[in-house]
Amino acid sequence: MRTIVFVTGNTGKLAEARAKLGPLGFDVTQDKGGYPELQCDSLEEVAKEGVRAVAGRLDCDFILEDAGLFVDALHGFPGVYSAYVNKTLGCEGLLKLMDGTPENGRAARFEAVIAYYEKGTLKLFKGVCHGRISDSMRGGGGFGFDPVFVPTGDDRSFAEMCKNEKNAASHRGRAFDQFVEYLKNGQSGH
Ligand code: IMP
């Protein structure tokens, strides 16, 4: 078993990481020390700034992850503001912003960037999941915007899926796939 230290305060992300990496032989431990989430123009920059802060505090290799929901009809909003918008407007507020937007105009995508800090070197792994914003909240699982996001190829929201189903399609699951590939082969990432 190899241990991966995941710096996150989000128990939903932690549970997904464990569901994904546990069966592959990785023990994911949580570091709750946190880092300031600086407002940046891209997920990559937020993740890099996070690594800078955590590297001064932790004396071991670690990962952290930054994610966001990008809605086409809202010109990519909430994007890097997703955490703030989820806290303030929530899923209901997002649905209100989309009021009157027809089925064919509700495309959106989730993106996740995993930053891996390994012996002083930084590697980034990005996963994207395309889908659409539903017209109502559905399901009791997951976290954040899961009840209003339906991935392409499915009729269910992420909140209606179990963790393994979400991981198979999700931005985070795809970013973790690349991370695991890197750990196995020492390749990819940027
Ligand atoms: P952050 O990576 O913690 O900054 O996440 C930004 C926000 O995006 C979170 O607070 C959630 O509201 C939302 N988010 C990120 N990933 C997911 C996901 O997998 N499902 C639902 N919402 C998500």
pLDDT digits (tens, 9 = 90+) for 146-161: 999 999 999 999 999 9
Is 66 labeled as catalytic in the residue annotation? Answer: yes
Q: Is the pLDDT of residue 187 over 70?
A: no
Q: Please name the CATH architecture into which domain 2-184 falls.
A: Alpha-Beta Complex (3.90)
Is residue 162 over pLDDT 60?
A: yes
- Given a cut of 90, whether residue 31 has pLDDT beyond it is yes
Strand partners, 29: 5
- Which ligand 1 atom lies nearest to the CA of residue 166? 19
Which among 27, 59, 66, 146 is annotated as catalytic?
66
The DSSP call for residue 78 is: B
The residue that leads in pLDDT, 134 or 188, is 134
Is the pLDDT assigned to residue 38 strictly greater than 90?
Answer: no
pLDDT of 186 strictly over 80: no
> Please, is 56 exposed, middle or buried when counting C-beta atoms within 10 Å of its C-beta (0-12, 13-18, 19+)?
exposed
pTM of the model: 0.95
Q: What is the pLDDT of residues 43-52, one digit of tens each?
A: 999 999 999 9
Average pLDDT for residues 129-151, to the nearest whole number? 97
Question: Which of 10, 138, 145, 162 to mutate to test ligand 1, by most ligand atoms within 8 A of the CB atom?
Answer: 145
